[in-house]
Amino acid sequence: MSGSPLPDALPATSPDDPLVAGADSPTGGPPAGLLDELRAALGENAVLTDPDLLRTYQRDQADLCDAGLPAVVTRPRDTAGVAAVVRAAARYGSPVVPQGARTGLAGGANAVDGAVVLSTTAMTEILEIDPVNRIAVVQPGVVNATLAAAVARHGLRYPPDPGSWESSTIGGNVATNAGGMCCVKYGVTTEYVLGLEVVLASGEVLRTGRRTAKGVAGYDLTRLFVGSEGTLGVITEVTVSLRPAAEESLTLVAVFDSTVAAGTAVAEISARGLTPSLLELLDQTHLRTIEAYRPMGLRTDAKALLLAAADTGPRAAADLRRLAEVCESAGAAEVFEATDATEAAALLQARRLALPAMERFAAERYPNGSPGIIIDDVAVPRAALAALLDGVERIAAECEVPIGIVGHAGDGNMHPNIVVDRADPESVRRGQLAFDAIMQLGLDLGGTCTGEHGVGLLKRDWLAREIGPVGVRVHQAIKAALDPAGLLNPGKVI
């Protein structure tokens, strides 16, 4: 397998740009009769064939992954509609690419030429909120923030909070096993999914899991589908567990003169058994780009900033003090606590601005080129975080490419963002070298090629390296058993 995660010909980001891979590839249109079946099942308005609209469904937000032009986009509203689409596509041998809000960062939702795109964004019903059993049942198109607001009215909380939580959908979160800033204490999506309704490649409807607090009957099929990125079935309903609303939270910021010292602080926080509700890292590149993007008085002279929070109500002040002591002993140049909820929210918003700020940085660095960002997603054991940060800094210098590091320090999941000029083959080559070097470093440190973004197209080769030949064969056997014709999201994951 090739070590490079990226295609030789890199597409442009805009779906209307003729350089987008597949935009000019003739598909010959959908097979005769397929459109009639789809329209009969879903209605005219839920079946899109206008070429301009098709181009807007080509890709997710993975900037440098290949994409094709779908033959048709479908927007079913219920499980029966999804099953009808899958059955019709199977009869005509057409690949099916499930899509949510397309906020993914690994190309997992990218279309292939001639595909039937199955968009779940019209499936937006919150079917049930049960405060007694602390569960919610939702369709896959429900936006994460919408669910969070709905359960909050019952004094409950849905903890997974990916950076795109205001636009990403629960179905997409489940398909990629999304994480977020609160993972350090509350874990990732899979820990909250109790059951699923899934349309299989045959068009049959499978129900997995349970509504009970405990349940160990049979194979854990629910977890099999969580993180499968639409390659094994199409998720049409999700039953999630909820938690009581968090207590009052306090936030602190620790400023470091080196990223390694920040990594050392994170490892010591874990070693002492402390459990912040949030522990995020921003390197100097991100501090400078965020401050330039939206000025808020960030310390741009610092090499790294740790943002920590404790949501333990009356115990929060004492918990925060212990976190501050660890940071100070690790060499923090400055530690200060947010004075009120408004300041704490502003610091949290600064973290969420990391990606748009880096996109502006890329545009300003290559004003006459085609700026792009390869968004990495490597996770290592907490004890190896300092080595990862130090290694990425070395790789950036060796490959002569700008790399900004941001991420969920508390669980060792970092996002090195590699800035390239897609119009310059040499810049792209150096970016690819840096990407590969970071991936190898992460695996060498006992880590994984992706902590929360999924595999998609971007990391297929690196998944194979991580799990080895036996792991690949097991993955392929599961895929063959559930999708023998290979029509569900082909080319993704494995």
Amino acid at 378: V
CA distance 119 to 122: 7
Query: And the tokens for 48?
Result: 């899109």
CATH of span 126-244: 3.30.465.10
Amino acid at 198: V
> pLDDT tens digits, residue range 232-248?
999 999 999 999 998 99
pLDDT of residue 24: 38
> pLDDT tens digits, residue range 290-341?
999 999 899 999 999 999 999 999 999 999 999 999 999 999 999 999 888 8
Query: What pTM did the predictor assign?
Result: 0.91
pLDDT of residue 63: 77
| Segment 24-51 mean pLDDT | 85
Helical packing angle, 425-444 and 385-399, nearest 10°? 160
Closest CA to 99 of 124, 79, 117, 126: 117
Q: Strand 116-119 to strand 72-74: parallel, antiparallel, or no bridges (unpaired)? A: parallel
Residue 3 has pLDDT above 80, yes or no: no
Q: Which of the four pLDDT bands, split at 50, 70 and 90, describes residue 14?
A: very low
- 217 burial class (0-12, 13-18, 19+ CB within 10 angstroms)? exposed
What are the residue ranges of CATH 3.30.465.10 in the chain?
A: 126-244
Size (the chain), residues: 494
**How many CB atoms are located within 10 Å of the residue 349 CB?**
12
Closest CA to 74 of 273, 234, 261: 234
CA 78 distance to own-chain centroid:
25
Q: Strand 193-199 to strand 116-119: parallel, antiparallel, or no bridges (unpaired)? A: unpaired
What are the residue ranges of CATH 3.30.43.10 in the chain?
A: 34-119
Q: Strand 116-119 to strand 96-99: parallel, antiparallel, or no bridges (unpaired)? A: parallel
CA distance 293 to 360: 7
Sheet holding 116-119, edge to edge: 47-48, 72-74, 116-119, 96-99
CATH of span 34-119: 3.30.43.10
pLDDT of residue 352: 87
CA distance 423 to 170: 36
Q: Strand 278-283 to strand 304-310: parallel, antiparallel, or no bridges (unpaired)? A: antiparallel
Say what percent of the chain tops pLDDT 90.
86
Q: In degrees rounded to 5, what are phi and psi of residue 254?
A: -115, 130
Residues forming beta bridges with residue 207, ordered by sequence position: 197
pLDDT of residue 64: 76
Sign of the CA dihedral with 227 first, then 138, 78, and 83 last: positive
From residue 430, give the alpha-carbon distance in Å to each of 24, 113, 223, 414, 442: 28, 29, 37, 20, 18
> pLDDT tens digits, residue range 452-464?
999 999 999 999 9
Domain 250-444 matching CATH 3.40.462.10: the answer reads yes
Residue 20 has pLDDT above 50, yes or no: no
pLDDT of residue 278: 95
E strands, 205-285, in order: 205-209, 234-241, 243-244, 250-256, 278-283
What are the residue ranges of CATH 3.40.462.10 in the chain?
A: 250-444
What is residue 104's DSSP assignment?
-
pLDDT of residue 15: 35
What is residue 346's DSSP assignment?
H
Q: Which of the four pLDDT bands, split at 50, 70 and 90, describes residue 13?
A: very low
Long-range contacts of 20-25 (CB under 8 A, 24+ apart): 20/55, 20/58, 20/59, 20/67, 21/66, 21/67, 21/68, 22/58, 22/66, 22/67, 22/68, 22/69, 22/111, 22/112, 22/113, 23/55, 23/58, 23/69, 25/68, 25/69, 25/113
| Segment 197-212 mean pLDDT | 97
pLDDT of residue 294: 94
